[in-house]
Amino acid sequence: MLDNLKKYNIILASGSPRRKELLEGLGVDFRVEVVNGIEETYPHDLPVAEIPVYLSRLKAHAYQANANDLIITADTVVILNGKVIGKPHDEAEAKRMLSELSGNVHTVVTGVTVFTADRVESLSCSSEVEFAPLSDEEIDYYVENYRPLDKAGSYGIQEWIGYMGIKGIKGSFYNVMGLPVQRLYALLKTF
């Protein structure tokens, strides 16, 4: 499948092990290449649902695509009550974030940009996630044992907290993991 991509050197421009795992699931050959030091800032008046695509395009600008390169960048945000919940700076902030998500529905939005030397395409995917009420003990256990400091919203749906705490999801499960693979696959078919 995706024979149209054989002419490209595919680069996943993300250090996320989850994105790497999900892209591997599509059966394409790629390598991971990360440019460090990209400041993930966005205009304060940008609608929150547009932030992930903006950031994925910002990350794309840090790369120079050679003639045979196809580069994939992505960014995921968690939105609760119209406010972006990013990655926690420490365990205390992770616990606070999870307390806010507890018993509530939030939105996970991932923006993906795919580009070559002569083409740039972006997509956005949203999923609604409902958490059951979480006890302080459950939150403490998760943060202390799974260290979710590298995850937007302080959780990984594919981990313990997802097994026991997610009541429902509307939309793509893989989007919540960080890469809407079905939408990405459809886009890659057009290159």
**Rounded to the nearest 5°, which phi and psi values hold at 102?**
-55, 125
State yes or no: is 3 an active-site residue.
no
Q: Token digits for 172?
A: 């793509």
Give the largest Cα separation in the chain, rounded. Answer: 53
Specify the pairing of strand 69-80 against strand 31-32. Answer: unpaired
Of 3, 45, 75, 90, the active-site residue reads 75
Specify the pairing of strand 31-32 against strand 166-170. Answer: unpaired
Q: Tokens 């616990």 label which residue?
A: 95
Name the residues annotated as catalytic: 75
